[in-house]
Amino acid sequence: MPGRRSRRGLTSLADNSAFLPPPADEVLPLPTPDRVTQQAIFSRVVEFITRQAPRLPDFYAERTTVQFGEPILSRGQTWKEAQHDPRLDYELTSIDHIYFEDGKETADQQRTKKQGRQQDLLETTGTFGPILVLALKAAVAPGGMIAWSRWEKGSNGPVAVFRYASAPSMPDYGVGFCCLAVDQVSVPFHRSTTFRGELSVDAKSGHILRLTVEANLVPRLPLKDSAIMVEYGPVDLGGKTYYCPQRSVSRSRQRRVWQIDEWGMRFKVYGSFKTVLNDVTFSRYHLFRAQTTILPGFVPVPQ
């Protein structure tokens, strides 16, 4: 693309389509494997997750987040009018370190760049390990569902894609935003809900290559859509290879909240829905450990 704005426009368009079905030329016309073969593939997936998740070492990675959002009110437009511009404008770039210690994920955020008017921050947690374990447990729990979807093209051969849905008894996926239209105070909206998605795996090894998680939201909520896509790849940590997140996309579509000064009063009202989108890359993985060399002997030198 010829410039930064063009590249950002293409990035937001591609990210927004990450949850759509793939184009026809990416789907392989291979026969659907029989049930025994499907179970064998999925058993390798379960083995991979149960083997890697508890053994992930303590490490940190650099996370670069580029956030996009729908534009603010155009000239002459009032808070009473719906927003008719669906494009996603660049809002900010943030770079921070993600620490993974004792199976828990924390972020030490240092925002390095900010552009334009920013009101809504979209944050995602649980990308390392927990989200995979959550999806697997919810799919295999009583009432959950996992089923064959299709074969897709992969860089190292065919990729097996399963679709899944969480069990109604496991609404462990937390979504929300800040904040509701309540005067004088900040009241976050939060909801635990069931979810669905797709799991793309290497059929031979069981390695997870891609995961999507989409919330099942009931109608008439101030939050209409919440979804995450994570792509995984090999990372060397301390001489061992682990499959860790390399890129992710997070999307939320929520009610706008306007602060209104009219009729001699100041109050909040709900506006139209707006989409917030994060394009995230993970790099510079580093293992938490000290290196010590023990010498067999030494020669004293004069003080």
268, two tokens:
């909040």
Confidence grade of residue 49 (pLDDT, cut at 50, 70, 90): confident
Question: pLDDT tens digits for 240-297?
Answer: 888 889 999 999 998 888 888 778 888 888 888 888 999 999 999 888 766 677 778 7
| Confidence at residue 130, expressed as pLDDT on a 0 to 100 scale | 81
Mean pLDDT of 101-114: 67
Between residues 174 and 57, which one has the greater pLDDT? 174
Prior bond to 178 cis, omega within 30?
no
| Confidence at residue 271, expressed as pLDDT on a 0 to 100 scale | 80
| Confidence at residue 246, expressed as pLDDT on a 0 to 100 scale | 92
Which residues, at least 6 apart from 268, have a Cβ–Cβ distance to it below 8 Å? 181, 182, 183, 257, 258, 259, 260
Confidence grade of residue 122 (pLDDT, cut at 50, 70, 90): confident
Instruction: Give the chain's count of helices (H) and strands (E).
Output: 3, 12
Question: pLDDT tens digits for 198-245?
Answer: 999 998 888 889 999 999 998 889 999 999 999 998 888 888 888 889
First-residue to last-residue Cα distance in the chain: 65
Q: For residue 4, what are the β-bridge partners?
A: none
Residue 281, judged by CB atoms within 10 A of its CB (0-12, 13-18, 19+), counts as middle
Q: Is residue 41 pLDDT above 80, yes or no?
A: yes
| Confidence at residue 110, expressed as pLDDT on a 0 to 100 scale | 58
Cα 41 from Cα 36, distance rounded (Å) = 9
| Confidence at residue 230, expressed as pLDDT on a 0 to 100 scale | 93
Cα 29 from Cα 108, distance rounded (Å) = 45
Question: pLDDT tens digits for 149-179?
Answer: 999 988 888 899 999 999 888 767 889 888 8
Q: Is residue 109 pLDDT above 90, yes or no?
A: no
Q: Is residue 77 pLDDT above 70, yes or no?
A: no
Between residues 84 and 153, which one has the greater pLDDT? 153
